[in-house]
Amino acid sequence: MCGLSGFLAAAPLHERGKQQALVRRMTDTISHRGPDDAGYWCDVERGVALGHRRLSILDLSPAGHQPMHSPSGRYVMVFNGEIYNHLQMRRQLESGARAPDWRGRSDTETLLAGFDAWGIQETVERAVGMFAFAVWDRHAGVLTLGRDRIGEKPLYYGWQGRGANAAFLFGSELKALRAHPAFEGRIDRDALCLQLRYSYIPAPYSIYRGIAKLAPGSLLTVSAQAREPRLTTYWSGARQAVAGAAAPFAGSAAQAVDTLEGLLRQAVQDQMIADVPLGAFLSGGVDSSTVVALMQAQSARPVKTFSIGFHEEGYNEAEYAKAVAAHLGTEHTELYVQAEGARALIPRLQSVYDEPFSDSSQLPTILVSQLARQHVTVSLSGDAGDELFCGYNRYQFAARLWKTVDAAPLPLRRLAARGIARVPVETWNRLARRTARFLPQSLRFANTGDKLHKGAQVLSNATLDQLYLGLVSHWEDPAALVIGAREAPTLLRGDTPALPGLDGIQRMMALDLLTYLPDDILVKVDRAAMSVSLETRIPFLDHRVVEFAWQLPQSLKLRDGVSKWALRQVLYKYVPPALIERPKMGFGVPIGNWLRGPLREWAQDLLDESRLRSEGYFDPIQLRQKWHEHLSGQRNWQYHLWDVLMFQSWLEQQSTGAPGQREPAALASCYPS
């Protein structure tokens, strides 16, 4: 696991020393991604520079140093990630008499030999792994960026600056791009709307205008002559979902479970290869327990496992993880964190995530990464089981709700919705309090007005896609809050793929595979772990597992109301059901209570009305109303407020001079005036 950065200048730079100093400056901002080694390569005449920070996992020798040249000398590459089948790829090269004299054992060397023999796209299609890379073709003068199939590893890019000062910038994190003097740093208000809706900014957008995220499963080519980036999709999650559903696994349920177990065992075995200490995150749920069980079954020594515990009721999974670890015989480490310990991380969040990101489970993810890094350099994770095997409760809830709602004519539903919405939330709440004593306990609800207003939104939906968008949205109309903004289209709103042949639940799963998984879950894990120089690996995201999961009939994922049925059958070969079966628990923290208590002063400062007016991003009246309603306990706006607070905190960091925001004069002179 590493970090990369670089640039392609519109006009050649004049001095090699300054060019190298510039790429070094960019690369040093992401030293946490690779503390073991650093390397830089420049071509002054063509204005291209590559930088690399290395976290040594395989082949710890100098033979793994980057930037690295291909055997022919044609390609120069910086690479972030792991290719789990690279030894198999070497054998393929050798069997075709196309292998070089190997200098070391790194997967980067294997990829470069593949580029010489097969070309870039064919090599990437043969690779099994997680990665992001930048490769310069010295013959053609073309830069190629690539990203893995699902989006485990990040890669940002974009042209910045004007005329002779323009440059195509790229890097693993935004802070690397900010360190370049051409970087403009114009905030994209339309992208800010997306962060308020989803708690993350989905690809291809970033918080900055002109800077994009490379989409998963994509290659990009650009040159000084052909400045418009050309995108190619070499693997598509949407296509795989449709193809899998159209040609489902034809064997018995038992055969399906055995096949799934075999694929997962292989994926886990491949991802346990490392020349450094290795372990796993363990929550005690189905997904992480399956990964750990398959690790321990293939290990001669106890696997090192890690979990974080909280004393707050409803937020603690550590006791379940401990029981699973004891049954499997792992070397388990747990850390119970006081609320103060989690809250102390909040000032660090913006340097870790680099753009506004407001999934509050970011806090425990950083904590468990810090814990694991004290013992290992690589940690396997159980992420992606929910998206692949129908694990989220919202899938079943949305499907049942839509079946009920869709039975009534849409005009009638919308009329009822308008009637409900006209009555203020507090009026509904007062009415509920007055009538509560006449109702059975099962019909007494807290925050009745909130629930009725949300129900009114559901009644207004014309399709299941619209209903699901409402379920995964925080701010219903973020463009009404962000001044001068127009919400950009996404795969969930405006650019939704057709996904023919998928039923309602399958559509929700596919949309999560394309959006929530890469843009929230994988971002959260990558930035948290790499902030402490910890490599994470996700066996469920071996693309062969992903493709087979989509071939599994839905009846083997959701059976008699039980989610992840086939995956549970694999797990129960190793762990008794009694240790696993319990209501699903999120990996979060009690943000709502904290905002009314110990975080109140911090939030109050960021939401100060005069400050909001001065900054000019949010409508202060609408925002202050939600803040007061939350403080009073009238409404629970924890997620809406956390979205805004994460942007406000990020904005504050930028204005106080985040790394790369101020440009030393010596580096500014790299470019002609």
Q: How far apart are CA 415 and CA 407, in angstroms?
A: 15
Q: How far apart are CA 183 and CA 599, in angstroms?
A: 34
Strands 535-537 and 378-380: parallel
Distance (Å) of CA 433 to CA 425, 446, 447: 12, 9, 10
The count of C-alpha atoms lying within 13 angstroms of the C-alpha of 548, restricted to the half-sphere facing its C-beta, is 21
SS3 89: helix
Q: How far apart are CA 201 and CA 203, in angstroms?
A: 7
Beta bridge pairs of residue 39: 52
Q: Which of 584, 626, 547 is nearest to 263 (CA)?
A: 547
The first and second tokens of residue 225, run together, are: 């002559």
The first and second tokens of residue 302, run together, are: 């106890």
Place of tokens 């396997």: 380
Q: How far apart are CA 321 and CA 307, in angstroms?
A: 7
Q: How far apart are CA 119 and CA 115, in angstroms?
A: 4
Q: How far apart are CA 600 and CA 244, in angstroms?
A: 49
Q: How far apart are CA 447 and CA 426, in angstroms?
A: 9
Cα-only R_g, the chain: 25
Q: Are 2 and 83 in contact (CB under 8 A)?
A: no
Q: Which of 509, 499, 475 is nearest to 396 (CA)?
A: 509
Surface-to-core class of residue 460, CB atoms within 10 Å of its CB (0-12 exposed, 13-18 middle, 19+ buried): buried
| Ramachandran angles phi, psi of 443, nearest 5° | -110, 10
Q: Are 83 and 124 in contact (CB under 8 A)?
A: no
Q: Which amino acid is at 370?
A: Q
Q: What is the DSSP string of 203-250?
A: TT--SBTT-EEPPTTEEEEE-SSS-S-EEEES--HHHHHHHHHHS---
The count of C-alpha atoms lying within 13 angstroms of the C-alpha of 59, restricted to the half-sphere facing its C-beta, is 18
Q: Are 288 and 382 in contact (CB under 8 A)?
A: yes
Beta bridge pairs of residue 143: 136, 222
Place of tokens 């809830």: 397
Place of tokens 């418009």: 228
Q: Is 2 a catalytic residue?
A: yes
Would you tell me how many other CB atoms lie within 10 Å of the CB of residue 535? 24
Please give the biggest Cα pair distance in the chain.
Answer: 84
Q: Which of 2, 42, 193, 670 is catalytic?
A: 2
Catalytic amino acids?
2
